[in-house]
Amino acid sequence: MSGSSGGSFGGGFAPEPTCEKILIRTQLASPVPDVIDDLRTGDVLDVVLGGPTGPLTAQTNDGDVAGAILISNPASLINCINEGFEFKAKVMDITGGDCQISLYCSGR
């Protein structure tokens, strides 16, 4: 008698991460020089959604826009923000006018 082995299910697509697990590393687009000059590695910026569908920006605690956030799949991040999740952008590196950030969920 032969037994059956368990099969695997799935369509070959990785599921989208839940809002709490989103972690995206990217570079600020159109960085604002006067704001970037005052940032240091480790600073944390607010991720702000300008309207129901965007744009996404990174802002200081004073509300100064450091730059735009352009990512390959903004819909998932925008949906999470519209559902009440808050996101932060941690400054990972600043080289000249380039600012590398890491986006993460900071709560609901």
DSSP code per residue over 3-44: --PPP----S-PPPPPGGG-EEEEE-BS--HHHHTT--TT-E
Average pLDDT of the residues in 10-21 = 68
- Residue 96 DSSP SS3: coil
**What residue spans define the domains of the chain?**
19-107
pLDDT at 14 over 60: no
CATH 1.10.10.10 holds for 19-107: no
Q: Which residues does 15 contact at the CB level (< 8 Å), separation at least 6?
A: none
- Residue 107 DSSP SS3: strand
- Global confidence as pTM: 0.82
Is residue 63 within 8 A of residue 84, CB to CB? The reply is no
pLDDT at 1 over 70: no
Which secondary structure element, helix H or strand E, spans residue 65, and what is its range?
A: strand 65-68
Residue 97 pLDDT: 87
Give 39-95 pLDDT, tens digit per residue: 999 999 999 999 988 899 999 999 999 999 999 989 999 999 999 999 999 999 999
